[in-house]
């Protein structure tokens, strides 16, 4: 069972940059400091280790069982790439996109004949999730699709019981960080970052993750691009504050309630933020293990109870236009080494498209040579 009710700080509450305590995985977090200035002793890496990376390693099997259906916009993006493209999925999780058009999977991996002509390399901080990603395939995805969560979890447990060394690898994956993947600059024709950047706890770190995506892209010439295709592009997905009626997430409704009702801050110059900063929340993941039967003192079998453990995952919820602003800031702050290579022309980054889909903000950008 997975629940999505968030623990959302108020507008006046401190963000993770002003949190001094360790998140309580069974309910909320310790708030220390002022909301107006970040604590100088805040350790963003430690915060993310405890409230993101350690959590995903702990829930990897159950989490993987619930992530099996590729999102249509991501599938369409990958379908728009030219044959022979090589890309990177930064924050690939259990690898649900790695099999799409993947030449390593053979003729059954694509949408039709001749579609197995690209390759996406997966990178993630969670070594536990990567064990699922390295063996993810269309067949495995199809075996869970539409079969219900119970079937998905059953398959995940079978995978978990299989020793990693005996699982047949079908994808190229590597442990890496969204801020520093370890790959050479301009190594990839495309990059995707799906539901990853919102786990970074400061705006600066989120901006650096965008810069890393740009650094990895091999720029394309202007002539290589159509309106919606070609190499030299990256796609980003993040959770949205504005849920627009989505059943499982109520972030925007809760935010209005915490601010005193919808419209209560309209026209108030003092209450309006200077820039789009979204909200920071801890979202619980309830992990239940099957009951274990026990034998009482006289030898009778007594039905056991389910064990339940709650893990709190940190998210930054993006407001409308915040993702675009973040990319613009990352572009403005690019180092000269990323902008140019010795003897080569500098690059320019253009937005191709962006929008909202099912509780997420997304955008596609092109990395182009200027000459």
Where along the chain do its domains lie? 69-243+318-369
**Tell me, what's the pLDDT at 337?**
81
Q: What is the pLDDT of residues 187-228, one digit of tens each?
A: 999 999 999 999 999 999 999 999 999 999 999 987 776 666
Q: Identify the segments of the chain with pLDDT beneath 70.
A: 1-39, 107-114, 138-167, 225-228, 246-276, 290-306, 342-344
Listed residue (88, 65, 78, 72) closest to 152, CA to CA = 65
> pLDDT tens digits for 244-262?
776 556 665 555 554 444 4
Which pLDDT does position 167 carry in this prediction?
58
Measured CA to CA in angstroms, residue 277 lies from 115, 186, 313, 316 at distances of 40, 30, 19, 9
Query: Half-sphere exposure (CA, 13 Å, Cβ side) for 263?
Result: 0
Supply the pLDDT for residue 136.
85
Nearest 5°: the CA angle 148, 144, 166 is 135
User: SS3 breakdown of the chain: % helix, strand, coil, rounded to 5?
Assistant: 30, 25, 50
Q: How many residues does the chain have?
A: 371
In whole angstroms, give the CA distance from residue 306 to residue 292: 8
pLDDT of residue 184: 95
pLDDT value for 288: 79
Q: Which fold has domain 69-243+318-369?
A: Rossmann fold (3.40.50)
The pLDDT value given to residue 29? 39
**β-pairing, 301-302 with 294-295?**
antiparallel
Instruction: Report pLDDT digits (tens) over 10-31.
Output: 333 344 654 433 434 334 433 3
């Amino acid at each position: 069972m997975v629940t999505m009710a968030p623990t959302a700080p108020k507008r006046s509450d401190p963000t993770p940059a002003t949190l001094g305590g360790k998140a309580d995985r069974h309910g909320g977090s310790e708030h220390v400091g002022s909301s107006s200035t970040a604590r100088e002793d805040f350790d963003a890496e430690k915060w993310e280790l405890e409230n993101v990376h350690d959590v995903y390693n702990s829930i990897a099997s159950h989490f993987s069982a619930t992530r099996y259906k590729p999102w249509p916009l991501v599938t369409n993006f990958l379908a728009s790439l030219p044959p022979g493209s090589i890309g990177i999925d930064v924050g690939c999780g259990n690898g649900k996109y790695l099999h799409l058009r993947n030449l390593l999977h053979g003729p059954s991996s694509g949408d039709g004949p001749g579609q197995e002509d690209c390759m996406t390399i997966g990178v993630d901080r969670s070594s536990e999730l990567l064990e699922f990603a390295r063996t993810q395939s269309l067949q495995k995805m199809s075996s869970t699709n539409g079969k219900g969560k119970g079937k998905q979890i059953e398959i995940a447990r079978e995978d978990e019981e299989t020793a990693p060394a005996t699982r047949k690898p079908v994808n190229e994956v590597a442990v890496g960080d969204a801020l520093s993947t370890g790959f050479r600059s301009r190594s990839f024709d495309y990059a995707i970052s799906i539901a990853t950047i919102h786990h970074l706890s400061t705006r600066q770190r989120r901006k650096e993750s965008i810069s890393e995506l740009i650094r990895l892209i091999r720029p394309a010439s202007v002539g290589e691009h159509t309106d919606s295709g070609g190499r030299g592009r990256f796609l980003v997905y993040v959770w949205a504050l504005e849920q627009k009626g989505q059943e499982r997430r109520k972030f925007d409704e809760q935010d209005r309630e915490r601010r005193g009702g919808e419209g209560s801050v309209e026209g108030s110059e003092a209450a309006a933020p200077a820039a789009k900063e979204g909200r920071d929340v801890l979202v619980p993941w309830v992990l239940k293990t099957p009951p274990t039967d026990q034998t009482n003192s006289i030898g009778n079998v007594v039905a056991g109870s389910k064990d339940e453990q709650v893990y709190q995952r940190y998210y930054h919820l993006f407001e409308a236009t915040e993702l675009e602003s973040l990319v613009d800031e990352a572009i403005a702050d690019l180092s000269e080494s990323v902008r140019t290579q010795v003897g080569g022309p500098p690059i320019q980054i253009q937005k191709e498209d962006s929008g909202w889909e099912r509780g997420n903000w997304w955008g596609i950008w092109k990395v182009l040579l200027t000459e």
